[in-house]
Amino acid sequence: MRLSSLSLIAVCLVAAAAAGRARVSNEDLTSQVMAHERAFAATMAARDFEGFGRYLSREAVFMTGSDALRGKEAVLAAWRRHYDGGEPPFSWEPKQVEVVASGTLAYSTGPIRDAQGRRIGSFNSVWRLEAPGRWAVVFDRGCDCRQ
């Protein structure tokens, strides 16, 4: 009887461990990143600078032209000006998200619009899964579509 109880416990532990490692579908991961990107963009409309910072990896690299801002603090220092004032100077929204097979990196892209709603560019971001269900921007690059 004691051996069968131990066997049952062992089987339950193995099953629980396997369930804990159950893969999240690519569709679910894509939805997670899309939701994170939308919430990230909503920080601009809400003028929520602290919220903006919560979506940045501490290793974030934001590229503009040939310059790169390296690290969360550098990105925050440069982007603070976009959050000052009552009206957002621009907005962005995701149009496409792709997630790698391992489920740990994602790419998002979409339009950037000026305050009047005219398309002025596109963004490209790489997101990293930093904790279960928590994605953070690691790389970001905007490009001016007027060029």
pLDDT digits (tens, 9 = 90+) for 2-56: 545 544 454 444 444 444 445 789 999 999 999 999 999 999 999 999 999 999 9
Which amino acid belongs to residue 111?
Answer: P
What's the topology of domain 22-144?
Nuclear Transport Factor 2; Chain: A, (3.10.450)
Integer Cα distance of 23 and 33 in angstroms: 16
Residue that has been written with the tokens 């489920």 in this structure: 103
- Return the number of other C-beta atoms located less than 10 Å from residue 9's C-beta: 10
Max Cα distance, the chain (Å): 77
Q: Return mean pLDDT, the chain.
A: 87
**Domain residue extents for the chain:** 22-144
- What is the crossing angle of helices 26-45 and 72-83, to 10°? 50
